[in-house]
């Protein structure tokens, strides 16, 4: 075939719709576009199916009665009685919030410090290694953290818990939150385990943000005579505060839904809201893991799906807010 | 005059001291975090090595959990089968989604797919398990395959995110070169861009597999576990390493806990090998870093 003929083909027969499809180009495009819908459909289906599974219980007891009661007593459930609702989930929401708060109080300052140290202070040769080691904390499986929590962490926390109970626990008003006895399995222990688990997530995002801090700000601060600490504080930490917020909320989202490690160290008490952080309780995630395969009472399994539905809603909201903040901060 | 100069000097000195003290404090926090990591790994290693034996890898748990001996052979096999099937489902979906995001996607739809991929990573895996229960287990019963479905949902967004990043790192020169030579977009993506990004993509896959290996919560609601015998049929309820660690750890029997420690050591070893192998691949990658 001469070059002329080839050129003629190109001009005379621009790639038509048929070639586009038969050549596989359009087909391939359709396939990848279809795949991109999978993630969105999955999230949508999760919301719908959890709601559908819990629907019988919701219709029987009412949508909001789950959120207004802290009494979880499956053995009192009676298919003929619809009030009061024996499946109040308030204490699990409380447990989830409390353990996550403890985790945040510990993990956020530590993670920010670690990220700041790695990006601004550590010897350059060590930075990559230190980052990898912190990331390794995220690689350890949840079940291993829980197991380690029972046998290594609880004995180590025991003196701290007993000390808190015997000192702060005796103070009138705030003492309720630290009152003993401390048996090891507690909101406190769960919070500490969660802190270790979310720390690498927060630290990784912070590291990324700190590493992209504008160099000319650092140079400007240094030129004005700022010390190394002041440079890190003025040119790296302060401009990143909203992004740190986003990173922390991302960690919070992870802490809210963490299941197995929490189930292993929280004590799984479902009797009532326990005001003391040294007491035993349950979270939304832990009660599902703990009771799901043994849910034999009327509406029990459906009620667990209601718990799952609200956990999903909370996780969606928290993650959407966190991603927005982080995305806005990184885009700046 | 001298007093002002002295004051300035002492102020500067104070700031220098403050800088040194606070830097040291950060270093102490860093050391503390590394100490926790070492504590976890060493504790698992010490407990695990004192409980592990060759029999652990070839025997199933004894019928009576308080009895000594036995192993998690069926759980290890189950883990590989369930995670293997999960990877077979998740890899094509995850990579094709990433190709869409990196090579085709423009505008609103693409942005929301990318955004919700990140959101899906943050969804509690116990909820994923409950979801798979409601779409699969209710009709077909507890099974290894249901566990694979749940793990696939965990893996897809992880694979999509790393693959998208890797594809975006491939220089546009390669794409332009391919298109200029008359390659179709499909050929450009599959023959040029994807191979160039492959080491990075494999890194992401390994990390996703490592994550899936350790997942326990969603499997409680889907694969359920089966301690009695080795089940190789994914249509039936199956045990995994993570499920056996969980159930043996909370038995209260010393023998069960010993098995669980051996299991924990095995699981951590698998996860660490995958993580380090992933790092190795990432370092060899031409496009990343």
- Burial label, B28 (beta-carbon count in 10 A; 0-12, 13-18, 19+): exposed
Hey, are the CB atoms on B116 and A43 less than 8 Å from each other? yes
Measure A110 CA to nearest chain B CA, in Å. 7
Q: What is the DSSP letter of A75?
A: G
Residues 168-227 of A with CB under 8 A from B: 196, 199, 227
Count: domains in chain A? 1
**Which residues in B lie closer than 8 A to residue A305 (C-beta atoms)?**
130, 134
Residues of A in contact with B156 (CB under 8 A): 38-39, 42
Indicate the SS3 state at residue B189. Answer: helix
CB contact under 8 A, B120 and A288: no
Q: Give the B window 72-131 contacts with A, CB below 8 Å.
A: 92-93, 96-97, 99-101, 103-105, 109-110, 112-113, 115-120, 122-128, 130-131
- Residues of B with CB below 8 A from A254's CB? 122
Q: Two tokens at A70?
A: 């802290």
The dihedral of CA B67, B72, B78, B79: what is its sign? positive
Residue at A3 is within a domain: no
pLDDT at A12: 40
ipTM: 0.94
**Is A267's Cβ below 8 Å from some Cβ in B?**
no
- Please answer yes or no on whether B44 and A146 come within 8 Å at the CB atom: no
Q: Rounded to whole angstroms, how far apart are CA atoms A32 and A93?
A: 39
Cα A45 to Cα A37: distance, rounded to the nearest angstrom: 12
Is A113 near chain B, with CB under 8 Å? yes
Query: Domain B57-284, what fold?
Result: MetI-like fold (1.10.3720)
| Predicted local confidence at residue B252, as pLDDT | 86
Q: Which of A74, A54, A96 is nearest to A309 (CA)?
A: A54
Give Dmax over CA atoms of chain A in angstroms.
98
Rounded-to-integer distance, Cα B231 and Cα B229, Å: 6
Residue A184 falls in which region: left (phi positive, over 0), alpha (psi -120 to 50) or beta: left
Do A168 and A178 contact (CB within 8 A), yes or no? yes
- pLDDT tens-place values along chain A, 332 residues long: 344 444 444 444 445 666 666 667 888 889 999 999 999 999 999 999 999 999 999 999 999 999 999 999 998 888 888 888 899 999 999 999 999 999 999 999 999 999 999 999 999 999 999 999 999 999 999 999 999 999 999 999 999 999 999 999 888 888 889 988 899 999 999 999 999 999 999 999 999 999 888 899 999 999 998 999 999 999 999 989 989 999 999 999 999 999 999 999 999 999 888 899 999 999 999 999 999 988 889 999 999 999 999 999 999 999 999 999 988 877 65
Contact A36 B271 (CB under 8 A): no
Q: Which candidate, A105, A106, A111, places its Cα nearest to that of A138?
A: A111
Q: How far apart are CA B101 and CA A300, in angstroms?
A: 42
What is the spatial distance between Cα B120 and Cα A40, in angstroms, rounded to a whole number? 9
CA B47 to chain centre: 23
Q: What is the pTM of this model?
A: 0.93
Task: Answer yes or no: do A137 and B33 touch at CB < 8 A.
Answer: yes
Chain segment A52-69, per-residue pLDDT in tens: 999 999 999 999 999 999
Cis peptide before A58 (omega within 30 of 0): no
* DSSP-based helix, strand, coil % in chain A, nearest 5: 75, 0, 25
Peptide bond into A181 cis (omega under 30): yes
Average pLDDT, chain B: 93
- Per the structure, the complete domain to which residue A158 belongs is given by 90-331
Q: Helix A25-61 vs helix B144-169: angle between axes, to the nearest 10 degrees?
A: 130
Say yes or no for a CB contact (<8 Å) between B26 and A288.
no
Please check whether residue A230 lies inside any domain of the structure: yes
Structure tokens at B55: 């029999």
- CB contact under 8 Å between A257 and B123, yes or no, is yes
CB contact under 8 A, A147 and B100: no
Q: Is A41 strand, coil or helix?
A: helix
Distance CA A200, CA A64 (A): 37
Contact, A57 vs A303, CB < 8 A? yes
Residues in chain B, pLDDT under 50? 288-289
User: What separation in angstroms does the CA of B274 have from each of B82, B271, B287?
Assistant: 17, 5, 21
Taking the CB of residue A176, how many other CB atoms lie within 10 A of it? 11
Nearest by CB to B127, from A37, A52, A311: name it. Answer: A311
Check if B262 contacts A (Cβ < 8 Å).
no
Q: How many CB pairs under 8 A join A and B?
A: 250
Q: What is the pLDDT of residue B289?
A: 43
Token pair, residue A116, equals 């700041």
Please choose, from the candidates A217, A237, A228, the residue with its C-alpha nearest in 3D space to the C-alpha of residue B16: A228
Question: Which residues of A, range 58-97, sit inside 8 Å of B by Cβ?
Answer: none
CATH number assigned to the domain comprising residue A228:
1.10.3720.10
**C-alpha angle with apex A286: A282 to A290, nearest 5 degrees?**
105
Q: What angle do CA B245, B246, B252 make, to 5 degrees?
A: 95
Please indicate if any CB of chain B lies within 8 Å of the CB of A55.
no
Asked if A231 contacts A222 with a C-beta cutoff of 8 angstroms, the reply is yes
Chain B's closest residue to A141, CA to CA, is B214
- The CB density around residue A280, as the number of other CB atoms within 10 Å, is 22
Q: What pLDDT score was predicted for residue A11? A: 42
Q: Check: CB of residue A178 under 8 Å from CB of residue A258.
A: no
List CB contacts (< 8 A) between B37 and chain A: 133-134, 136-137
Determine whether the interchain pair A31/B224 forms a contact, defined as Cβ–Cβ distance below 8 Å.
no
Query: In this structure, is residue A265 part of a structural domain?
Result: yes
Distance between CA atoms of residues A255 and A198, nearest Å: 7
Q: Are B126 and A259 in contact (CB < 8 Å)? A: yes
A130 in contact with B, Cβ within 8 Å? yes
B277 touches chain A (CB under 8 A): no
Q: Does A116 touch chain B (CB under 8 A)?
A: yes
- What's the pLDDT score for residue A32? 92
Give the integer Cα–Cα distance in Å for A156 and A103.
17
Q: Measured between beta carbons, which residues in chain B are less than 8 angstroms from residue A289? A: 126, 217, 220-221
Query: How far is B240 from B263, CA to CA, in rounded Å?
Result: 10
d(CA B269, CA B279): 15
Output the pLDDT for position A230. 93
Half-sphere exposure of A318 (CA within 13 A, CB side): 23
CA distances from A104 to A145, A185, A197 (A): 17, 19, 11
Give the model's pLDDT for residue B288. Answer: 47
Number of C-beta neighbours around residue B135 at 10 A? 16
Q: What is the pLDDT of residue A252?
A: 96
DSSP B101-129: IIII--HHHHHHHHHHHHHHHTS-HHHHH
Note whether A193 and A102 are within 8 A (CB).
no
Among the partner-chain residues A142, A230, A322, the one whose CB lies closest to the CB of B19 is A230
Supply the pLDDT for residue B282.
79
């Amino acid at each position: 075939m001469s070059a002329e003929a080839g050129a003629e083909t190109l001009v005379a027969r621009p790639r038509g719709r048929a070639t586009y499809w038969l050549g596989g180009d359009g087909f391939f495009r359709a396939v990848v576009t279809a795949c991109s819908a999978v993630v969105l459909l999955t999230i949508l289906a999760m919301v719908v199916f959890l709601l559908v599974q819990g629907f019988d219980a919701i219709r029987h007891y009412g949508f909001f009665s789950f959120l207004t009661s802290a009494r979880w007593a499956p053995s009192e459930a009676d298919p003929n009685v619809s009030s009061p609702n024996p499946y109040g989930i308030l204490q699990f929401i409380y447990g989830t919030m409390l353990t996550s708060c403890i985790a945040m109080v510990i993990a956020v300052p530590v993670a920010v410090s670690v990220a700041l140290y790695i990006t601004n202070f550590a010897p350059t040769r060590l930075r990559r290694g230190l980052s990898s080691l912190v990331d390794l904390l995220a690689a350890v499986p949840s079940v291993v953290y829980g197991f380690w929590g029972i046998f290594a962490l609880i004995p180590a926390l025991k003196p701290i818990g007993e000390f808190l109970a015997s000192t702060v626990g005796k103070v009138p008003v705030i003492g309720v939150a630290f009152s003993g006895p401390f048996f090891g399995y507690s909101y406190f222990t769960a919070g500490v385990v969660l802190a270790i688990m979310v720390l690498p997530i927060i630290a990784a995002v912070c590291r990324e943000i700190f590493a992209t801090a504008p160099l000319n700000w650092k140079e400007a601060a240094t030129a004005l005579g700022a010390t190394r600490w002041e440079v890190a504080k003025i040119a790296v930490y302060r401009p990143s505060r909203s992004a740190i917020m986003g990173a922390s909320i991302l960690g919070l989202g992870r802490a809210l839904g963490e299941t197995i490690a929490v189930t292993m160290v929280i004590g799984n008490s479902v009797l009532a809201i326990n005001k003391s952080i040294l007491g035993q309780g349950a979270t939304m995630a832990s009660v599902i893991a703990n009771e799901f395969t043994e849910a034999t009472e009327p509406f029990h399994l459906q009620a667990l799906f209601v718990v799952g539905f609200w956990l999903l809603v909370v996780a969606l909201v928290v993650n959407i807010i966190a991603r927005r903040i982080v995305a806005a901060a990184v885009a700046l | 005059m001298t007093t002002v100069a002295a004051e300035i000097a002492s102020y500067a000195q104070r700031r220098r001291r403050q800088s040194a003290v606070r830097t040291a404090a950060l270093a102490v926090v860093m050391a503390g975090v590394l100490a926790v990591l070492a504590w976890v790994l060493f504790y698992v290693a010490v407990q695990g090595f004192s409980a592990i034996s060759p029999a652990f890898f070839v025997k199933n748990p004894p019928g009576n959990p308080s009895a000594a001996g036995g192993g998690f052979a069926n759980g290890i096999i189950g883990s590989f089968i369930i995670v293997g099937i999960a990877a077979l489902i998740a890899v094509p979906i995850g990579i094709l989604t990433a190709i869409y995001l990196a090579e085709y996607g423009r505008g609103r739809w693409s942005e929301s797919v990318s955004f919700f991929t990140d959101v899906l990573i943050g969804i509690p895996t116990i909820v994923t398990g409950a979801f798979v229960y409601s779409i699969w287990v209710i009709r077909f019963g507890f099974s290894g395959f249901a566990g694979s479905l749940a793990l696939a949902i965990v893996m897809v967004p992880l694979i999509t995110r790393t693959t998208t990043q890797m594809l975006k790192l491939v220089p546009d020169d390669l794409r332009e070169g391919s298109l200029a030579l008359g390659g179709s977009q499909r050929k450009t993506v599959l023959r040029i861009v994807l191979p160039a990004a492959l080491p990075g993509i494999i890194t992401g896959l390994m990390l996703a597999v490592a994550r899936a290996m350790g997942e326990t919560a969603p499997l409680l609601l889907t694969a359920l576990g089966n301690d009695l015998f080795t089940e190789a049929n994914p249509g039936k309820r199956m045990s995994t390493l993570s499920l056996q660690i969980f159930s043996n750890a909370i038995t209260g029997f010393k023998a069960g806990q010993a098995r669980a420690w051996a299991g924990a050591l095995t699981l951590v070893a698998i996860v660490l090998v995958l993580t380090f192998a992933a790092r190795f691949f990432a370092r060899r990658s031409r496009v990343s870093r």
